[in-house]
Chains A and B, each alone.
Chain A
C-alpha cells in the first residue's frame, strides 16, 4: 500500500495555504514534514486523514482495496484525543475498541512509553509530556499502517524523544509508514524531508 497525494491545494478561511503539492509515501518509508508556522503542516495532515476537504487534487491510498483511507490511518494531532477525567489505561482501552485491529494491551502500551505507573491516574493530572506519551501509546494498541503525527516530539524530554524515534523505527521496519510534521529532527535515519511553503 502507498499513500499518494497528487496536486493537492488547501484553502482555509479564504486564504490559499499551499497548492500543487504531490508526494508518495510507500510502506516502510518516513517523511518529515517541515515548514514555518502557518505553512500548512497541520492542514496537510487534516487533508490526508480526510478531516478537511481539499480545494483541488486528491489523496488516495493505493492498494487498499475497499478499506476507506481513514481506517488505515493513525492520527495523533495537536488535540490529543484524551479524556481528562479517565485514566490513561481507560483512554487507551477506549481507543483500541474504537479503532479496532487490536495489537498491544493498554498496560503493555503504557509500558512501552515508560508510563506503567500512571495507568489509573486521570489523564488531567498528567504533565504535557506525559499526556503526549499516553497519546502516542495509542499507536501501539491498534494496528494501522499509516501513522500521521503532528509534532510528535512536542513537550517530550530527550529520553522520550529517543523512545518515540525507536517506536517509529520499529513501525517502519514492520512495514509501516510515518508522516510526521516536525520542527526538530525526528531521529529516523531514512526519513525524507518534505518542506511546505517558502
Chain B
C-alpha cells in the first residue's frame, strides 16, 4: 500500500516535470499576474506595499486553480484512473497522494517564489517572509479543496473553467486568513500568529475533507 502511494506521488511529479505538465505553467502564470499589477496601479510604492500580500495571495490562488481541472481528468481519459481504482490502496489515500503531488509541483514552488515576486510589489523583507510562510501552509488547502472540485467534474468533457468557478468561493476563508496573517508584518492590530494558526487548521481540515469528498465524487462518477 505504501508502495502504491509513493508510486502515485512519484508518477504525478514526473508528469508535472515534463513539458506541459502544469507545474511550471502555474509558476509562470503567477509571475505574469504579479508583474502586471504594478503596471496597472502605477509607481506608488506605498500603495503597492500595502496591497502586496493580497496581490501575491490572489496570484497564487489563481495560479493554483488554472491547472486543477486536469488533476483527475487526464487519468480518467487515458484509463489510469481505472488502474488506481483497482488498487488495494483506498481511493481516499490515492487522492491524498495525487493532492500531495499537486501541492509539491504547484503550491510549494509558488510559496518559494513569492519572496522574489515580493520585490515587484515593494514588500519589506519581513512581509516577504510572512507571505512565503502563509503560502507554504495555506496552499495545501487550495490543492485539496481543488481536488474535491476536480473530482466532481471528472466526467465533464471540456469543463475547464467549471473547476475554478466551483472552487474559488470555497477558498475564501483561506484567502482571508492568509492575507490577514501576511499583513500583520506591515503593521496593524492583528498579531501574526492568530490568523496563521487558523490558516494551518484550515489546511489540515481541507486535506482530510478534500480527500474524502474527492474519493466519494470519484466513486459516483461513471
Q: Quick one: given A94-B7, A97-B3, are A83 and B87 in contact (CB under 8 Å)? A: no
**Bound-complex Cα distance A71 to B85 (A):** 9
Q: Which chain A residues in 65-88 approach chain B with CB under 8 Å?
A: 70-71, 73-75, 77-86
Residue of A nearest to B1 (CB): A100
Q: Which chain B residues in 84-137 approach chain A with CB under 8 Å?
A: 84-89
Q: Quick one: given A49-B86, A94-B11, A99-B86, are A81 and B80 in contact (CB under 8 Å)? A: yes
Q: Which chain B residues in 59-95 approach chain A with CB under 8 Å?
A: 77-80, 82-89
A52 at the B interface (CB under 8 A): yes
B44 at the A interface (CB under 8 A): no
Are A98 and B77 within 8 A (Cβ)?
A: no
Give the residue among A71, A93, A100 with the most B Cβ atoms within 10 A: A100
Are A83 and B83 within 8 A (Cβ)?
A: no
Are B14 and A75 within 8 A (Cβ)?
A: no
**A-contact 0/1 string along B210-222, CB 8 Å cutoff:** 0000000000001
A-B contact count (CB 8 A): 72
Residues of A within 8 A of B3 (CB): 97, 100
> Within the complex, which residue of A70, A80, A94, A95 is in contact with B78, where a contact is CB–CB below 8 Å?
A80
Are B79 and A70 within 8 A (Cβ)?
A: no
Residue of A nearest to B20 (CB): A85
**What is the size, in residues, of chain B's interface with A at 8 Å between Cβ atoms?**
23
Residue of A nearest to B74 (CB): A83
Write the nearest CB–CB distance from A70 to chain B, whole angstroms: 5
Are B85 and A51 within 8 A (Cβ)?
A: yes
> Within the complex, which residue of B15, B82, B88 is in contact with A79, where a contact is CB–CB below 8 Å?
B82
Q: Is the interface of B mostly helix, strand, loop or mixed?
A: helix
**Bound-complex Cα distance A44 to B216 (A):** 23
**Bound-complex Cα distance A94 to B21 (A):** 18
**Bound-complex Cα distance A90 to B6 (A):** 14
**Bound-complex Cα distance A98 to B84 (A):** 7
Are A97 and B6 within 8 A (Cβ)?
A: yes
Residue of A nearest to B83 (CB): A81
B8 at the A interface (CB under 8 A): yes
Residue of A nearest to B19 (CB): A85
Residue of A nearest to B4 (CB): A98
Write the nearest CB–CB distance from B75 to chain A, whole angstroms: 9
Are B88 and A77 within 8 A (Cβ)?
A: no
Give the residue among B18, B21, B84, B87 with the most A Cβ atoms within 10 A: B87
Are A83 and B15 within 8 A (Cβ)?
A: yes
Residues of A within 8 A of B8 (CB): 98
**Bound-complex Cα distance A93 to B89 (A):** 16
Residues of B within 8 A of A86 (CB): 11, 14-15
Residues of A within 8 A of B18 (CB): 85
Write the nearest CB–CB distance from A62 to chain B, whole angstroms: 19
Write the nearest CB–CB distance from A195 to chain B, whole angstroms: 25
**B-contact 0/1 string along A11-30, CB 8 Å cutoff:** 00000000000000000000
Which residue numbers of B lie inside 8 Å of A, CB to CB? 3-4, 6-8, 11, 14-15, 18, 21, 77-80, 82-89, 222
Which residue numbers of A lie inside 8 Å of B, CB to CB? 49-53, 70-71, 73-75, 77-86, 90, 93-95, 97-100
Q: Which 10 A-B pairs have the closest CB atoms?
A: A79-B79, A97-B7, A81-B79, A85-B18, A98-B87, A81-B80, A81-B83, A98-B4, A97-B3, A70-B86
15 contacts between A and B (CB under 8 A): A49-B82, A51-B222, A81-B82, A82-B80, A83-B11, A83-B15, A85-B21, A86-B15, A93-B7, A94-B7, A94-B11, A97-B3, A97-B4, A98-B4, A98-B83
Known contacts A84-B78, A85-B21, then 9 further A-B pairs from the complex at CB < 8 Å, ordered by chain A residue: A52-B222, A78-B79, A79-B79, A80-B79, A82-B80, A85-B18, A95-B83, A97-B7, A99-B83
